Structure 1
Amino acid sequence: MDFKRNHVISAIFIILGTLASQATSRALSESSIAEKHEQWMAKHGRIYDDSAEKERRFAIFRKNVEFVEKFNKEGNKTYKLSINKFSDMTNEEFMRHHTGYKMSTSSNTSTSFKSNYFQYQSLAATDIPTSMDWREQQAVTGIKDQGRCGACWAFTVVAAVEGLTKIKTGKLISLSEQQLVDCTQQNNGCSGGSLESAYEYVIQNRGIAREDTYQYQSTDMGTCDANKESEHAAQITGYEQVPSRSENDLLKAVSMQPVSVSIAAYGTEFQHYGSGVFSGDCGTHVDHAVTAIGYGTTEDGTPYWLLKNSWGEQWGESGYMRILRNSDAPEGMCGLAMNAFYPTA
């Protein structure tokens, strides 16, 4: 009887010890993440209105940290995730404030848009470089940040016009996104817009101002500044659409100039993309716009697109993203081959 009693007591102590150890581990983990959150707040200058908001944001931050760490520990993907300045936001909040692409709903009758014409169609495979990075040709300005404004559509149109201007004139000029946000009447500023309407505005206005003339404010200013609007640093005569659902045609276009593309940016993996060739689950409901500025193949043979984003340098590969090229789906990874446009001089 004493032996049985002692055995039961020992078992109880083992269980209590295990529970205590687990509780201590959880407490240490909670403390570690809380310290990480404080460091993250200091790094990104984040200040919350009150303790209740801080507690709510900490819970979201902790969930995102656990997601990122679990993903990276699995180590079986072509890309890594990282904690970034968006890590105290739910994916729904993130999408609401940092995307902004909208499909055009109006039929375009402008003579500057040729929907059935693709000037690079006749390019032979031998004419297309095996890799391209328009940064190496000094045709890409630095990474910009749209902030909490759904103006991605303005950033990609500006980036494409900047690239074409450099190719045609030899001058790389940073152009004004704020002008498009304020002055493109058919779009909705920070509430989103289409690429077609933005290109139409640049054409009809006979150009676009410099960034330093009409500076970005990360908000709708309410009115178009006519004085700044009239200062034309770069012009285009038209724009064209890459044939939809054809990565091969998109390759031809990007080999010749930077191209505006729409993309599905949904999901915590996209929000926390850190490095490598992204091949995650993002769907094809395009809601964001970026600029395809190149392509290539990794050393292990993975083909990728090189994208310039507008979420600042603290996201992705210093603001850029590599994403899988030649995916099984005709619309491309995250739908990037569905709606692509480029300006013409």
Structure 2
Amino acid sequence: MASKSVKQFFSILLIQWMVFQARSRVISDVSMIERHEHWMAGYGRQYKDTAEKEKRYQIFKANSTAILSSSEYDKIVTAIPPSLDWRRKGAVAPIREVSCEKTPKIGLFKKPEGLLCAWTIPAVDAVEALIKIKTGKLYTLSNQEIVDCSTGLDCYHGSTEDAFEFIKQHGLTTESNYPPKDNKGTCDTNKEKEPVAKISGYNYVPADNEKALLQALTDQPVAVMVDASGADFQFYAGGVFTGECGTDIDHGVTLVGYGTSNSTLKYWRIKNSWGKGWGEDGYMRMERDIAAKEGMCGIAIEPIYPTL
């Protein structure tokens, strides 16, 4: 009799556990769908039919499965150095030169729209760095190949995820083999068949968590999005940038280091794609560990990095 009661007890526990797991999956799926919808809205993405949307959702979901939660990141015990600059480790390719437009009256740099198809560059920068860290070889890779050979994308329409997905599927050749243009051209399929770099996928850093972002950066440079629409950002000339800027992220940059200024102000070091004439030889030091969870200019909203 007692044995029967024990069996019933464990049967009830098993059923409850199965129900809990099912509910957890439903909640997780709903959360992922909402995240995908938010991503679509942020990049203005629209698909021709429900089948295409479902396909894109599954890709988005698959590449999100490896994301560590904020609590999991907090449990990682790693001695984080007080400063880091991946340039000093030889993992950062030179700044790409662009012919930024100048305003006729004040002669200052204006945000270039579409030059070098800027949405591809943070992904390419991050892959260049990862290949160097893992293999010791530093390539300057072709972002133009991504634009020319991607279906339905051009200089003005694309995301970091799109760029990573292309590199995952096709690999990437060098910039000298497939040089840059200022717009989308015809795909050179012969050069596309000569990749020197390829990735297995890409992962997201937990959103709105500068501590997690710092942890990820100790392993490799990270592609991030920032709000670059303001004049303070566009006309930045040096020092630790403290604003003003919003969190309506609209521009991709690459996070390549961090540190603390002489005035004890913590900062991120970001690599931009507007040429050496902008900022500190093409780089910016941006205030780190601010009160807003999104970080300065939204830098912590959507960090992403490639994997081999």
* 1:196-226 superposed Cα distances (whole Å, 9 cap, x missing partner): 1111111111x100110000112221x2111
Report the CA distance shift for 1:130/1:104 in structure 2 as closer, same or farther (over 3 A). Answer: farther
Are 1:195 and 2:163 matched, yes or no? no
1:114 aligns with 2:79: no
Aligned position for 1:129: 81
Task: Label 1:210 to 1:284 Cα distance change in 2 as closer, same or farther (>3 A).
Answer: same
2:43 is aligned to 102
TM alignment of 1:181-260, pairs within 5 A = 181-186=147-152, 188-205=153-170, 207-221=171-185, 223-260=186-223
Question: Is the CA contact (8 Å cut-off) linking 1:112 and 1:239 kept in structure 2?
Answer: no
- Give the match for residue 170 of structure 1: 136
The one-letter code sitting in structure 1 at the alignment partner of 2:256 is I
Show the counterpart of 1:274: 237
Contact 1:149–1:219 at 8 Å: present in 2 too? Answer: no
The structure-2 alpha-carbon separation of the partners of 1:149 and 1:269, relative to structure 1 and needing over 3 Å to count, comes to closer
Percentage of identical aligned residues:
44
Give the structure with higher Rg (CA).
1
CA contact (8 A) 2:242 2:287 kept: yes
**CA gap 1:129/1:317 in 2 versus in 1, 3 angstroms:** same
**Superposition RMSD on alpha carbons, in Å?**
2.1
Q: Distance in 1 between matches of 2:126 and 2:181?
A: 21
| CA drift at 1:126 | 4.3
The structural deviation recorded for 1:122 is: 6.3
Question: How many equivalent pairs are there?
Answer: 242
Deviation at residue 115 of structure 1 after TM alignment? 4.3
**Partner-residue secondary structure (3-state), 1:201:** helix
**Alpha-carbon distance in 2 for matches of 1:155, 1:145:** 12
Match of residue 22 from structure 2: none
Q: Which residue of 1 aligns with 2:7?
A: none
Asked whether the equivalents of residues 103 and 194 of structure 1 are also in contact (C-alpha less than 8 Å), the reply is: no
What secondary structure does 1:260 align onto? strand
| SS across alignment from 1:156 | helix
8 Å contact 1:279–1:333 — kept in the other structure? yes
Indicate the SS of the match to 2:218: helix
1:121, distance to aligned residue in structure 2 (A): 2.7
Q: Which amino acid aligns with 2:150?
A: T
- Say which SS state the counterpart of residue 307 (structure 1) adopts: strand
> Could you tell me the TM-score, scaled by structure 1's length?
0.66
1:284 to 244, 247, 250: 247
Equivalent runs, 1:1-345 vs 2, <5 Å: 102=43, 107-110=56-59, 113-115=63-65, 117-118=67-68, 121=73, 124=76, 126-147=78-99, 148-150=112-114, 151-186=117-152, 188-205=153-170, 207-221=171-185, 223-345=186-308
Q: Tell me how far 1:124 sits from its aligned partner.
A: 4.0
- Equivalent in the alignment of 1:26: none
Retained in 2: the 8 A contact 1:304–1:325? yes
8 A Cα contact 1:112 1:237, kept in partner = no
Return the letter of the residue paired with 1:114. S
Cα distance in structure 2, aligned partners of 1:276 and 1:252: 24
Moved over 6 A (4+): none
Contact in 2 for aligned 1:146/1:152 (Cα 8 Å): no
